[in-house]
Structure 1
């Protein structure tokens, strides 16, 4: 409740201070401008000002109460759901922008409009002896002062809401175990915020001074063309400078932020190669340096994680191969052959990394096979063969138990489908042609070559040339013809290069 009370009291203090400044500014323009009118007419103007300010304050208080009511209800009543807290959180973030509307609306419709109507009526009835154009000048002054008041209120409110946002975040974690966040949602862009701020700061003194000069002159001297040419030129140059300057300053701040945002987006999807460019010589240089330092740390950690993952997969493969001395090193060799095929097929580097891991684990399902079946030296019975044929699906089921699931997902298709045949006669799903996942088609070629050339208790391994001939013949029936052909041609080319003197 301390945060809430401080928040409300600061909002009211900011509101009161801003309103007081607006009152002083408008009152000074209307009361201290030499109008050369009788004292009783000054009292009429003062009455108009008091009535208009009263209407403005009432309107502003009504709008203020409506804007903060959801936040007040959150702190004074029990929060029953996370969605309610999330809505209040977003509402709090919107308060600075709402404060601008809260200032502009009542100033224009509660102060300027009633004051202008009443003053024009007094002039029309002869009770006030001032030119009509003074009403226009005063109205323009109110608009200008309201704009600056709204700008100040925007930044004051942005500062005041921060403790409330922290408190709401703590509540959410304590009550619902969830984090409150905008999720990257932009409620008001920094470009728009800074552009209007810089422009108003640059244009306000010039416009206010111009209006004050018109009050002092006391007439619009429409016949004096030289004066108006000069006045319009000065205004044009001044406002043009404020306009161009606001955009240049905004761009100078937005560009490094946008650059960092783009690099953060790359990091988010796993691209850690390029850091942010050190193109800035102000405080953003320190920010860029800090970002790149953080990125180097992430790279080191990612490399360590990859090494651990590689070791983990290699250990699983080695544990599987250790069950059968005749298949020792089989998984590593299949992974090597599969990567070679992937390189020949010009697969992307990331896919080749995933292909290697999938090939290392392609027979992981055999861990669940009984030794009596897996290590049997004689011919398998039909029942035992059916058990062996379950190892791809079993391997997929084992890997699905590893968390995080999304990290293992790329390896599952290759593990499950490496015994599918291109003609549809394989297992476990009887897939055909390119319906077989890519990794499954590649690993099938690599697995077959190593299996054919390896010794088994019940047979001696084939000569490599024989195995190559079988692969070549089986392309399009048992194996994907494209990948079988790549492997066969690469093998023969490698043999020929070794024979060359």
Structure 2
């Protein structure tokens, strides 16, 4: 409860300081105005102010108690549910806005309505001899001062709640192993907060000064000609216009770099780390941009290293598989090269080509689960042995599913499982047909078949490349996807023509 007690003490201190300022400012408008009243009437005014303050405090305390009750209950007992802590966490974040409502609600009307009502009644029964318009001026002054008090209370409360939020987060981690978070929710946008703050800082002192001038003039303002009022209205309009425009310019000056950094962070979140934040600012935001770009460069270096490690990991797996059979050495690497060439001709993106390469490197990984007696058999396979061979796409998918994190392997699974499917539906393991076969499976099937036909085997010598191309051409639309087969065939023939020309 130490954190909570300190928190409440600071809230009360902040409130007391703000209330004292508000009462002093509002009361001085009346008590120190040149009213030339008898001392008895000053006593009446003081009594009205004292009674109104008591009403204000009573209403204020009831609302304040209601606002902090969930937080008090949370700190009064250890434990509770995670969802309960999350609710209190959000409630604590809302306290600055609730403080503003407390000031502009019970605080404002608890003081203003009784004070104005009693003063008007005392004037009516003859206990006070002040003009009625003084009550109107004083009421406007109270509203202005309450607005200034609400502004101060908002920012003081925003600072005061931070230890409470830290304690709630610590308790959540200790009890449930989970962090408390708003999850990106914006309870009050910085644009709205700053616009109102800057406007009030600029406009309220001007209004308060104008009111005090009216009080000091007493009833003399009725004898002033219209040119004075035109000048006064003009000055007020200029002041309000400056406050309005200035608040938006200042807000934009702060919000723009924040928004720029937020957009760059969103790009990093989805993996786009090529472009850093633009150094368009000459204030402290320049340091933030520099720090962000420095962090991004570190992420790029780490991402490149991770990608190199991953590439080496995939290549090592493929090499380990190919090393089981000297006749198929380099098969996976060659299939990956052919597949990437087909993918590039088909217009795949760089990211898709990277995934295609990794899938092709691992397309036969399931053969690690096939015994050497079957996989390396030099003679003809029996039906049972052939069925075991045909299971290697399924075994490959199962092996990759065991690798963590699972989502990192997800893009490669369809191609590994389907690279022996046929376009006419006569392939294995699922008998998929046409476009039912995953994209990577259709591409790798062409690349795998060409390398298998042109590679030596224990039971036969590899075919001539032209012969293999002729078989691919003949099998378009039946065994292989006609589009990808045609791309590979055309690329092969174009290369051959260039070689002959040289």
TM-score (structure 1 length as normaliser): 0.98
Q: Partner of 1:218: helix, strand, or coil?
A: helix
Counterpart of 1:232?
Answer: 233
- Cα deviations by residue, 1:215-272 (Å, 9 ceiling, x for unpaired): 1122352873212111110000001001100110010011000000000000000001
Matched, 1:206 2:206: yes
RMSD of aligned residue pairs (Cα, Å): 1.1
Equivalences for residues 30-429 of structure 1 within 5 A: 30-219=30-219, 220-221=221-222, 224-429=225-430
Instruction: Quote how far apart the aligned CAs of 1:108 are.
Output: 2.5
* Runs of 5+ unmatched residues, structure 2: none
CA distance in 1, matches of 2:194, 2:188: 10
Counterpart of 2:441?
Answer: 440
CA distance in 2, matches of 1:256, 1:443: 47
CA distance in 1, matches of 2:164, 2:224: 58
- Cα deviations by residue, 1:461-489 (Å, 9 ceiling, x for unpaired): 11100111111111111111110000000
CA distance in 1, matches of 2:430, 2:40: 100
Counterpart of 2:15?
Answer: 15
CA distance in 2, matches of 1:225, 1:241: 24
CA distance in 2, matches of 1:113, 1:475: 89
After the TM superposition, which of the residue ranges 75-84 and 362-371 deviates more from structure 2?
A: 75-84
After the TM superposition, which of the residue ranges 255-264 and 89-98 deviates more from structure 2?
A: 89-98
CA distance in 1, matches of 2:444, 2:25: 80
Instruction: Quote how far apart the aligned CAs of 1:27 are.
Output: 1.4
> Does structure 2 conserve the Cα–Cα contact (< 8 Å) formed by 1:331 and 1:360?
yes
CA distance in 2, matches of 1:146, 1:386: 84
Counterpart of 1:481?
Answer: 482
CA distance in 1, matches of 2:298, 2:29: 60
- Cα deviations by residue, 1:155-177 (Å, 9 ceiling, x for unpaired): 11111111111111111111000
Instruction: Quote how far apart the aligned CAs of 1:435 are.
Output: 1.1
After the TM superposition, which of the residue ranges 479-488 and 30-39 deviates more from structure 2?
A: 30-39
CA distance in 2, matches of 1:303, 1:121: 80
- Cα deviations by residue, 1:370-391 (Å, 9 ceiling, x for unpaired): 1111111111111111111111
CA distance in 1, matches of 2:98, 2:104: 10
> Does structure 2 conserve the Cα–Cα contact (< 8 Å) formed by 1:79 and 1:85?
no
Counterpart of 2:499?
Answer: 498
After the TM superposition, which of the residue ranges 107-116 and 47-56 deviates more from structure 2?
A: 107-116
> Does structure 2 conserve the Cα–Cα contact (< 8 Å) formed by 1:107 and 1:142?
no
- Cα deviations by residue, 1:433-459 (Å, 9 ceiling, x for unpaired): 111111111111100100111111111
> Does structure 2 conserve the Cα–Cα contact (< 8 Å) formed by 1:321 and 1:328?
yes
CA distance in 1, matches of 2:30, 2:55: 18
CA distance in 1, matches of 2:392, 2:213: 92
- Cα deviations by residue, 1:173-226 (Å, 9 ceiling, x for unpaired): 110000111121111111111111111111121110000011112235287321
Counterpart of 1:466?
Answer: 467
TM-score (structure 2 length as normaliser): 0.98
CA distance in 2, matches of 1:2, 1:123: 51
> Does structure 2 conserve the Cα–Cα contact (< 8 Å) formed by 1:420 and 1:436?
yes
* Runs of 5+ unmatched residues, structure 1: none
CA distance in 1, matches of 2:36, 2:223: 21
- Cα deviations by residue, 1:71-93 (Å, 9 ceiling, x for unpaired): 11111113321101111111111
CA distance in 2, matches of 1:80, 1:284: 41
CA distance in 1, matches of 2:317, 2:222: 93
Aligned residues: 501
Instruction: Quote how far apart the aligned CAs of 1:126 are.
Output: 2.2
Counterpart of 1:431?
Answer: 432
